[in-house]
A and B are shown apart, each in its own frame.
Chain A
Amino acid sequence: MTTWFWIVMAPVLGGLVYGGERVLRARMQRRQGPPLLQPFYDMFKLMDKRTLVIHSAHALLGVVHFLVLWITVGAIFFGWNLLYIVFLHLFALIVLVIAGYSVRSVFSQIGANRELLALVAYEPVLLLVTVGFYLYAGSFYIGDILHHSGYLSQMPLLFLALLVILPIKVKKSPFDVVEGHQEIVGGVEVEYSGFFFEFLYMARFLEYIFIYSFVFLFGGADYWLGALLVIGTFILVNLVDNATARVRAADMVKISYLLALLLAGINIVWMLT
């Protein structure tokens, strides 16, 4: 029963995380920043605006993207198979990419291209992290993974690899080329407005929960360690976001493969031998 409650509340939880992140980033720049509930104010305002729809399939794909992500997060809370969860998340992003290609806006098409590139960059690492959990815990099920502990000592390089790809997933500064507000006006979300933009806005909250739950799993049976890891990673990612400039799309893939994939691969080979 409590699991269902948390699944229903997942977008609200993610919204609080997103609002807290905006406050944290503002404090790092020594300014006041928006209120904590700012994402919810944005949502209510978007409900009040007129909605421009390009074609109905485009709007529907945005909603489907959100719903599949919600199911993914629900599967995480239920403790299902981690491998399935990664592929379910992949499906959600493919839906978004199709939505991006389905309109004639140039920015939307470039955004969809870059979304695919980002997918190519981080997906292998995410899979290797999953494989690492399987090699140590002997099961893909999150419930079983959370019964063991000591992941950090066995998979330190996999954790570092996850840290490298984390900014790609939450669209933060060294790797925010997918969104690129100054360059391509938000990428795939450019043609969404009003009510249907809300679903993409909420999908971003769910992405936060999705990727930070991977960080949490590294704590294993020790939930406090997991929570500490999540908080530390959260602060680190925002610090890096404030301190770095954007890299080009091709460089993002290069960095991800040369650094993250290499680290993850070394760790996997080390665990196998």
Chain B
Amino acid sequence: MKWLAQFRKKSPWILHYNAGSCNGCDIEILAALSPRFDLERFGIVNTGNPKQTDIFLVTGPVTFHSRERLVELYSQIPEPKVVVAVGACTSTGGVFRGMYNVEDGIDRYIPVDVYVPGCAASPQLIIDGIVQALSILEKKNKAIEKPFRLFGGIKRIGKKISRLTMAKRIGEEK
């Protein structure tokens, strides 16, 4: 419904995932949630639960170990959803770009809506990025969004959609 869409930006719940970050950006995200910067005044709650999440905050350059979980978490978030890449590593790979054990940013795996620069991204920038993400979230429709890699397809059982096979394991890819 069109009328309900206006409430998306009034209560965005975030899920924070660390895809091999150095914890610099994670500390800044927690600082943004803490009383000093107070993200809760926008109605933001840090749920650890992907099934009740609107904004997916990712930090880190996606190490080999974390990419399965990244895609798994992404495919468990119900639409509408937005992804915010926090920090230089998450956006481009940062200082780790080209190394053998990282994947140069999350946009090789999942579609990203907002890139937040900085090493580490400051709380002010993170808040700005989230507010940018809110205006994108309001315009999105509820079509199913797919990860670029490790995508296992969507099964249809009658009228219903099954997401059980949406995220693949690494060995199953080929």
Chain A interface residues (CB < 8 Å from chain B): 22, 26, 29-35, 38, 41-42, 44-52, 181-182, 185-186, 189-194, 197
**Could you tell me the distance between the alpha carbons of A26 and B33 in the complex, rounded to whole angstroms?**
12
Partner of A181, one of B11, B47, B76: B47
Please give the distance in Å from A29's CB to the nearest CB on chain B. Answer: 4
B99 at the interface (CB under 8 A from A): no
Contact B43 A35 (CB under 8 A): yes
Q: A48-B7, A52-B163 are in contact. Are A26 and B48 (CB under 8 A)?
A: no
Query: Which B residues lie within 8 Å of A32 (CB)?
Result: 38, 41
Q: How many residues of B contact A (CB 8 A)?
A: 28
B10 at the interface (CB under 8 A from A): yes
Query: Which A residues lie within 8 Å of B80 (CB)?
Result: 48-49
**Could you tell me the distance between the alpha carbons of A127 and B54 in the complex, rounded to whole angstroms?**
41
Partner of A194, one of B11, B12, B41, B78: B78
Query: Which A residues lie within 8 Å of B52 (CB)?
Result: 46, 192-193, 197
Most chain B Cβ neighbours within 10 Å, of A30, A34, A35, A192: A34
**Could you tell me the distance between the alpha carbons of A185 and B48 in the complex, rounded to whole angstroms?**
5
B165 at the interface (CB under 8 A from A): no
8 extra A-B contacts, CB within 8 A, seeds A41-B10, A42-B43 = A22-B40, A33-B41, A38-B43, A45-B10, A45-B12, A48-B8, A181-B47, A197-B52
B49 at the interface (CB under 8 A from A): yes
B156 at the interface (CB under 8 A from A): no
Partner of A26, one of B38, B49, B54: B38
A46: nearest chain-B partner, CB-CB: B52
Contact B11 A41 (CB under 8 A): yes
B3: nearest chain-A partner, CB-CB: A44
Contact A52 B41 (CB under 8 A): no
A193: nearest chain-B partner, CB-CB: B51
**Could you tell me the distance between the alpha carbons of A34 and B33 in the complex, rounded to whole angstroms?**
12
**Could you tell me the distance between the alpha carbons of A68 and B76 in the complex, rounded to whole angstroms?**
30
**Could you tell me the distance between the alpha carbons of A50 and B41 in the complex, rounded to whole angstroms?**
25
Please give the distance in Å from A30's CB to the nearest CB on chain B. Answer: 7
Contact A48 B5 (CB under 8 A): yes
Query: Which B residues lie within 8 Å of A186 (CB)?
Result: 47-49
Partner of B54, one of A22, A38, A45, A190: A45
B9: nearest chain-A partner, CB-CB: A45
**Could you tell me the distance between the alpha carbons of A47 and B10 in the complex, rounded to whole angstroms?**
13
Query: Which B residues lie within 8 Å of A194 (CB)?
Result: 78
Contact B49 A34 (CB under 8 A): no
Query: Which A residues lie within 8 Å of B163 (CB)?
Result: 52
Partner of A34, one of B5, B35, B40, B78: B40
**Could you tell me the distance between the alpha carbons of A182 and B16 in the complex, rounded to whole angstroms?**
12
